[in-house]
Amino acid sequence: MKAERWIFVFITAFFVVVAPVYWFMSGEIIGTVALLLTVAFSGMLAVFFTITSNKIDPRPEDRKDGEIIEGAGEVGFFPSSSIWPFWAALTVTIMALGPVFGWWLTLVGAGLGIWAIVGWTYQYYRDDYQH
């Protein structure tokens, strides 16, 4: 977690310097607020990684004496291809077109969205991928 922590500490420090410079040079409020929000969000991640790295044992890549073989093992779970992200994106598109063509379309998209999210959530509880 040390590498992740330092990445976000440097990002936070960079935007702490950039935000006031941007405000003094441009005088624009919206961009300054966006930069300040970037400071806040990257600062939250820096604090999170700092707290987490203090709570857990150091990973092999965080130790000076860490060996490559220590990081061997299962990498994680990688899901197979799925059609459900397509349906979820399509329903978001339909909902975004609702204000253009009529609010009824947003309601149709919301209904389809519930169907798509439920399908995406439960795709591993049936057929070949059942646990």
Q: 39-43 — which CB contacts under 8 Å span 24+ positions?
A: 39/12, 39/15, 42/8, 42/11, 42/12, 42/15, 43/8, 43/12
Q: What is the mean pLDDT of the chain?
A: 89
C-beta neighbour count of 126 within 10 angstroms: 9
Query: Could you tell me the two tokens for 129?
Result: 């991928």
Are 53 and 6 in contact by the 8 Å Cβ rule? The answer is no
Question: What band does 62 get if pLDDT is binned at 50, 70 and 90?
Answer: confident
Answer yes or no: pTM beyond 0.85: no
Mean pLDDT of 30-57: 94
Structure confidence at residue 14 (pLDDT): 98
Residue with token string 């961009």: 31
Residue 44 identity (one-letter amino acid): M
Give the model confidence (pLDDT) of 95-114 as tens digits: 999 999 999 999 999 999 99
Query: Could you tell me the two tokens for 64?
Result: 């000076």
Residue 37 identity (one-letter amino acid): L
Are 123 and 86 in contact by the 8 Å Cβ rule? The answer is no
Gap between the terminal Cα atoms of the chain: 31
Give the model confidence (pLDDT) of 70-100 as tens digits: 878 787 777 778 899 999 999 999 999 999 9
